[in-house]
Amino acid sequence: MNIWLLIALMALVTFSIRYALYARANAITLPAKLERALKFSAPCVLTAIWVPSVLMPNGEIDITLTNPYFIGGFVAVVIGLWKKNTLLTIVVSMVCFFTYKWFIG
């Protein structure tokens, strides 16, 4: 099948699904409990993404000082809770991760 036709069909399907939901978005009101619960969906999804890559970089649980992902993640949690600055947390934890990976690990 032609690649451009395939891309166009995928775009049409994606647009149709999203347009159908957005067109009815103002007509639907969600219960207060559901709206409160949905506020936790982004942190849950992000946690589900980073926890396996930090704690299981090789497919097995590795919570040791030889795991640079664990060290970087630990530093990120400490800096994030301490300073509450996202950019600082990212920069410091990435510097720690790469320094540990290249020079120590």
Helix axes 41-55, 68-83, angle to 10 degrees: 140
Whether the predicted pLDDT of 20 surpasses 90? no
Return the DSSP state at 105.
-
- Give the Cα separation of 57 and 46 in Å (integer): 16
- The predicted structure's pLDDT at residue 105: 66
Q: How confident is the model at residue 29 (pLDDT cuts 50, 70, 90)?
A: confident
Q: Which two tokens stand for residue 79?
A: 């800096």
pLDDT at 90: 96
> Could you tell me if 86 and 98 are in contact, meaning their C-beta atoms sit under 8 angstroms apart?
no
Q: Which residues contact 60 (CB under 8 A, 6 or more apart)?
A: none
